[in-house]
Structure 1
Amino acid sequence: MSHVESLVAKQLESLLENEKNVVSNLANASALIFQNYENINWAGFYVYNNDSNQLDLGPFQGNVACMHINPGSGVVGKSFAEKTSMIVPNVHEFAGHIACDANSNSELVVPIFKNGDIFGIIDMDSPLLDRFSDFERKEVEELALVLSKSI
């Protein structure tokens, strides 16, 4: 076990212990995120597909979502292209925002790195404007680190 700070990261680490099935781990992680953060309407993953050079929809909780996102497109694609976490207080003011769910107003995205490359993106949406804080960004980055050891 590694050293983790947040309670959610500790829960995730325990949940994933000795489990290597990527789909199962992402499915349980999306449920854990959805259950532990208030005022979110979507929590899930986009996984990079080397063959198509796209981010493909992975396990999630919430309404139906976009199936494929190109690197550089929308919040998820920009996070992937820039290899950085992003908080978007108002997605309607984000140039190139991909509106998968009209009820989403703010977004938090965090890349998951594996062996120096981006495996995928953790994506969280909220119906509230300016929902996500820097504290939550750091906490979700910790979740991404925990996940990187189980994918």
Structure 2
Amino acid sequence: MPSNKFYSSLNEQLAGLLSGERDWLANTANASALLFMELADINWAGFYFLYGDELRLGPFQGKPACTRIPVGAGVCGTAVATGESQLVEDVHQFPGHIACDAVSASEVVIPLFAGGRCLGVLDVDSPSVARFGVEDLTGLQEFARILLNCSEIPPVIPHSR
């Protein structure tokens, strides 16, 4: 499991990478690449953005993923519906889990809030059961906070299909 020192270094890398760039799309793309490059034993790292009552796939690294996830469905949709981060040791035991990649076994999802509204989620998956712990959750919450602070938050996205 990564240590606090690991996440301190990772989050410093993110702040440096985003320094001088405020574009939301560019920053989420680079953030997902950084996570995929630096985190061991993961098979997916990326973002879903909230459009009305569903999450839509954003920048990511890994295998092709589900394009749309209803709010309240799966781990990502649950994070949005509850407004709380989700740390799931075994996704196959999570009620309503959506298997975008059957190889994924554990997951951590951080909802992204700015200006009193949810923008979407940061999602990281692993093929190993119980890959993520509290240090990962805390480190990735800080990662998301840095991303939000370094980015120009997009306008409200209208519900469209």
- Report TM bin, short chain: over 0.9
Separation in structure 1 between the aligned mates of residue 8 and residue 72 of structure 2, nearest angstrom? 30
CA contact (8 A) 1:112 1:147 kept: no
Range with greater deviation from structure 2 (54-63 or 18-27): 18-27
Separation in structure 1 between the aligned mates of residue 13 and residue 116 of structure 2, nearest angstrom? 25
TM-score, length of structure 2 as denominator length: 0.87
Q: Give the aligned residue type for 2:88.
A: V
Separation in structure 2 between the aligned mates of residue 34 and residue 117 of structure 1, nearest angstrom? 27
Higher relative contact order (CA 8 A, sep 6+): 2
Q: Counterpart in 1 of 2:136?
A: 136
Q: Which of 21, 24, 37 pairs up with 2:23?
A: 21
**Root mean square deviation, CA, Å:** 1.0
Shift in Å, 1:42: 0.2
Q: Which runs of 5+ in 2 are unaligned?
A: 1-6, 154-161
Separation in structure 2 between the aligned mates of residue 80 and residue 7 of structure 1, nearest angstrom? 28
Query: For residues 78-114 of structure 1, what are the alpha-carbon distances to aligned partners after superposition, in whole Å with 9 as ceiling and x for unaligned?
Result: 0011011111111011110000001000000011111
Same amino acid, percent of matched pairs: 46
Q: Counterpart in 2 of 1:84?
A: 84
Q: Which runs of 5+ in 1 are unaligned?
A: none
Shift in Å, 1:47: 0.7
Residue correspondences, number = 145
Residue 12 (structure 2) pairs with residue 10 (structure 1):
yes
TM-score, length of structure 1 as denominator length: 0.93
